[in-house]
Amino acid sequence: MSDGKLNLDTDTDDILDERFIEVPITGPGEANRLVVLNGIALSGKDGSGLDTPDQRSQHWDVFIQTKYRLAEADRWLGIVEGNTELLHATWLSLCAITADEEGGFTIGLETVTASINSTNRVRLHIYAGLQGDSTLLKISYQVNFLLKKSLKTP
Describe the strand order of the beta sheet including 58-69 as a list of residue ranges.
4-9, 58-69, 121-131, 106-116
Check whether 108 has a pLDDT greater than 90. no
Judged against a pLDDT cut of 70, whether residue 45 lies above it is answered with: no
pLDDT at 54 (0 to 100):
60
Percentage of the chain beyond pLDDT 70 is 84
Euclidean distance between the first and the last CA atom of the chain, given in angstroms as a whole number: 45
Of 105 and 61, the one with more pLDDT? 61
102 vs 80 pLDDT, higher one: 80
Q: Helix, strand, coil % (nearest 5) of the chain?
A: 0, 60, 40
What distance in Å separates the CA atoms of residue 98 and residue 136, rounded to the nearest whole number?
Answer: 7
Dihedral (CA of 150, 151, 152, 153) sign: positive
- Environment class of 3 (CB within 10 Å of its CB; exposed 0-12, middle 13-18, buried 19+): middle
| pLDDT tier at 92, thresholds 50, 70, 90 | very high
Instruction: Please give the pLDDT value at position 101.
Output: 63
Average pLDDT on 48-76 reads 82
- Kindly report the pTM of this predicted structure: 0.85
Q: What is the reported pLDDT for 46?
A: 43
